[in-house]
Amino acid sequence: MKNVASVNSYLANLALWNIKLHNLHFNVEGKNFKNIHEFLEDIYEEVFEYYDAVAELMKQQDQIPNCCMKSYLETATMKEMASEIIPIQDALKILVDDLELMIAQAKQLREEAGEEDNFLLSNMMEDHVEYYTKQLWFTRSFLSEN
């Protein structure tokens, strides 16, 4: 695995995002609260699975995944957010931004993995892009005023 730094940055984003999604899940308020609350829960459960799978793949490829908050905060490209009440529309806009960031990062990793014939990582990132893209579609649909 030649792109360990890129994979660790992605892992850091997954860890930070898991916490951020919990923050949104716990503190979102507004009309249709239950639907958005449950939607966010579904996403953070999947994100945690991705976090675990990426770290395990690194171990399978004789790498040591970064697994401490200090390292995550140093290498993550995702922005943290404060714990505060957040209106549904704002929460969904934050989610759109984060999904777009994760799609871009997963595509970059997929490309890097392809260049070094790391089919396991490449295939994993393909699956992540597919999931994020679908969730982006759902999130934008929630934001639609139609």
Domains of the chain: 4-143 (1.20.1260.10)
Which residue type is seen at 100? E
**Average pLDDT, integer, range 62-89:** 96
Q: How confident is the model at residue 1 (pLDDT cuts 50, 70, 90)?
A: confident
| 8 Å CB contact between 113 and 122 | yes
Q: Tens digits of per-residue pLDDT, 15-64?
A: 999 999 999 999 999 999 999 999 999 999 999 999 999 999 999 999 99
Cα 19 from chain centroid (whole Å) = 10
Residue among 25, 47, 23, 46 nearest 34 (CA): 25
The tokens for 140 are 């934008």
Tokens 């957040």 appear where?
Answer: 86
pTM here is 0.96
In whole angstroms, give the CA distance from residue 145 to residue 72: 37
Backbone φ and ψ for 86, nearest 5 degrees, come out as: -130, 125
Predicted pLDDT of residue 146: 57
Q: Write down the pLDDT at residue 128.
A: 98
- The yes-or-no verdict on residue 2 having pLDDT over 90 is no
- Contact status, residue 66 vs residue 9, Cβ threshold 8 Å: no
- Cα 139 from Cα 133, distance rounded (Å): 10
pLDDT at 138 over 80: yes
pLDDT in tens, 82-130: 999 999 999 999 999 999 999 999 999 999 999 999 999 999 999 999 9
Residue 63 token pair? 């790498």
Q: What is the pLDDT of residue 103?
A: 98
**pLDDT reported for residue 48:** 98
Radius of gyration of the chain (CA): 16
**DSSP run (H or E) holding 126:** helix 119-143
Length of the chain: 146
pLDDT confidence of 11, banded at 50, 70, 90?
Answer: very high
